Amino acid sequence: MSTLGQQRTKSSLSRLHSGGRVPHALLFIGQTGWGTLSLALDFARLLLCETPDSDADGNAVACGKCNACGKTGHFTHPDLHFSYPTVGPNAVSTNFIKEWRAALAENPYLDANTWLQRLGAENKQGNITKDECNAVIKKLSLKVFEGRYKILLMWLPEYLGKEGNRLLKLIEEPPEQTIFLLVAENADLILPTILSRCQLVKTDPLSDDDITEGLQNKRSLDMNRARQIAFLSGGDFNQALQLADNPENDDAALLLDWLRKCWRGNGVELVKWTDNFAKLGRENQKQFLHFGLHFLRELLAMVVTKNPDARLRPEELQTAQNMANVLNFEKINRMARILNDNIYYIERNANPKILFLDTSIQINRILKEG
């Protein structure tokens, strides 16, 4: 399999394939940046391969040479169907299949925000619609065209919401030779009835060595630069690629600017910052909050372990070290809960100006508490 690292999971999948015991529904759980989507793609390629081979570790892999591998490599195999979040109340995945194939070819480690912005989401939220569920049911009612199986690979079933109920019977009693590969980041957002029908496949954060090797191969970075980025990326290869392509992380700069303004507590500054931030669009706002949670996790680790180092760049690290001198575990935890709650509120179309101004005031009070 071409996915970086994940040797434990690759071995498990290889055993399922070699033993002829592939469940009809697998749920891959882990951040996309860890290679979860890439791993599911590799497994789909293996299942459809005409002459499977073995890698250096003895795991079953697709040969990469047969007709089926050629088609799955370009994401055009007639027995490999895709479903993913799209934009629009009646949108279906096939409306965006060209964009999807191009995105996977460029970076199978991409995150939801990158994908949705590619579709021009702006303030619109991604979703997997009722029409998409009906289209999935129709696709899987067809017979196998060329391969041994027909496969549905659904990326981010969290976006199904209650529409997932439409697929329950299909997942529980799929047509003959049908396999579901669901790729999720947060199992808590998936209907329990869907979870109970799937065998879990958990992935892990990538090691610094895996990311270093990947950056050298994908971006031709020298060893020292690749290792530095690997340290900062926290096991997420998508984040590593973004750092390699854009050394200046806008989310990082925005976060530090916001925290400084929260510390000063100037009402005019906070209102102006909030007005500008509200223009970014909901998906970008969620991305910012996820980065803020990463920063707070690293800050929390510094406070708990008394270790002055963290997976942060120099300027961010300096800010974190300063904050570690005045914040305790309880305060950082409260700040993290606020940011996490905001992600929930944004997904439910809260007014961003009101939400983030209130958040700024709450953060100011926490920072200034004795």
Q: Is the pLDDT of residue 363 over 80?
A: yes
Same domain for 225 and 265, yes or no, is no
Same domain for 13 and 146, yes or no, is yes
Residue 213 belongs to domain spanning? 207-240
Same domain for 83 and 29, yes or no, is yes
Q: Is the pLDDT of residue 329 over 90?
A: yes
The segment with the largest mean pLDDT, out of 296-305, 339-348, 357-366, is 357-366
Compute the distance between CA of residue 37 and CA of residue 106 in angstroms, rounded to an integer.
Answer: 13
Same domain for 260 and 311, yes or no, is yes
- pLDDT at residue 318, rounded to an integer: 86
Same domain for 129 and 200, yes or no, is yes
Region 239-260: what's the mean pLDDT? 81
Sign of CA dihedral 57, 18, 66, 2: negative
Name the more confident of 355 and 347: 355
Same domain for 235 and 161, yes or no, is no
Same domain for 52 and 29, yes or no, is yes
> How many residues make up the chain in this entry?
370
Q: In this structure, are residues 11 and 59 in contact, taking their beta carbons and an 8 Å threshold?
A: yes
The answer to whether residue 43 sits within a structural domain is yes
Same domain for 181 and 233, yes or no, is no
Q: Is the pLDDT of residue 1 over 60?
A: no
Residue ending a domain, among 204, 231, 257, is 204
CATH number at residue 36: 3.40.50.300
Same domain for 216 and 347, yes or no, is no
Residue ending a domain, among 150, 185, 204, is 204
Same domain for 173 and 268, yes or no, is no
CA 162, distance to chain mean position in Å, is: 21
Same domain for 337 and 363, yes or no, is yes
- pLDDT at residue 221, rounded to an integer: 87
- pLDDT at residue 71, rounded to an integer: 96
Same domain for 344 and 285, yes or no, is yes
Burial class from Cβ neighbours inside 10 Å (0-12, 13-18, 19+) for residue 236 reads buried
User: pLDDT tens digits for 202-236?
Assistant: 999 999 999 999 999 999 888 888 887 887 788 99
The answer to whether residue 1 sits within a structural domain is no
- pLDDT at residue 249, rounded to an integer: 52
Short-list 335, 360, 336, 341, CA closest to 278: 360
- pLDDT at residue 286, rounded to an integer: 83
User: pLDDT tens digits for 110-162?
Assistant: 999 889 988 987 777 889 999 999 999 999 998 999 888 999 999 999 999 88
Residue with tokens 């599911």: 40
Tell me the pTM: 0.75
The answer to whether residue 130 sits within a structural domain is yes
- pLDDT at residue 222, rounded to an integer: 85
User: pLDDT tens digits for 288-320?
Assistant: 888 899 899 989 988 888 877 777 777 788 888
Q: Which two tokens stand for residue 135?
A: 């289209």
- pLDDT at residue 43, rounded to an integer: 96
The answer to whether residue 2 sits within a structural domain is no
**Beta-sheet pairing, 199-202 with 53-54:** unpaired
Q: Which two tokens stand for residue 114?
A: 């990158």
CATH number at residue 255: 1.20.272
Identify residue 106 by its one-letter amino acid code: E
Compute the distance between CA of residue 9 and CA of residue 200 in angstroms, rounded to an integer.
Answer: 11
Domains in the chain, number: 3
Short-list 97, 70, 104, 95, CA closest to 82: 97
- pLDDT at residue 96, rounded to an integer: 95
Give the residue ranges of DSSP H helices in the chain: 7-18, 36-48, 67-73, 97-106, 112-118, 130-140, 168-172, 192-195, 208-219, 223-233, 237-245, 250-264, 267-278, 282-305, 314-324, 329-347, 352-368
> Which residues partner with 179 through β-bridges?
151
